[in-house]
Amino acid sequence: MTSINAPADPILETDFIREMVRQMRALDSYGQYDGKPVASLLEPFILSKERKAEIPIIGDPDDLTLACIKAFYNGIAVMIEKECGLMAVTLVHLSHEGFGRVLITVGKLVVLDRTLRDAHRFGFESLSKMKHEADKHLAVALEIIGKFPDVAGL
């Protein structure tokens, strides 16, 4: 079901994927993920096109999907903090129908503004595609911070 390969997969050693594991463990307030392998923690992020097509259009996002959305964008915020040394704050606002917005701010500067649609279908075809998407957002955010460092430092 998952495209996460063996534990020796080099993508599992990247900073972003390690951060995603930390984020998923941080969202586990009841200890359900204690002792679970990395592959099972990251499995909810992986959705094939076929699996996405099986998810009905009408429906509310479940708690695990909401946790994955928060973990993904919180992971990007942490990577921004590591790169620029300034605190990044994530705001995720979703309606019960799965529509909403994600903002990441650094100081008074909005470095990521993303509209979410069909949040109940949130996922990626593979970990490498998830990392690639995060890297794109990170690059744009760091470019914005570079252009407006005074606002980011407020």
pLDDT digits (tens, 9 = 90+) for 64-107: 899 999 999 999 999 999 999 999 999 999 998 889 999 999 99
Question: Which tens digits make up the pLDDT trace of 22-52?
Answer: 999 998 888 888 888 898 899 999 999 898 8
Task: Find out whether 82 and 18 touch, Cβ atoms under 8 Å.
Answer: no
Residue 4: band (very low, low, confident or very high) from pLDDT cuts 50, 70, 90: low
Are 21 and 38 a contacting pair, CB within 8 Å?
A: yes
For residues 67 and 25, is the Cβ–Cβ distance under 8 A? Answer: no
CA pair distance 102, 116, nearest whole angstrom: 7
pLDDT of residue 2: 46
Entry pTM: 0.90
What is the set of domains in the chain, with CATH numbers?
A: 10-152 (1.10.3100.20)
Q: 69: which 2 tokens? A: 């959305």
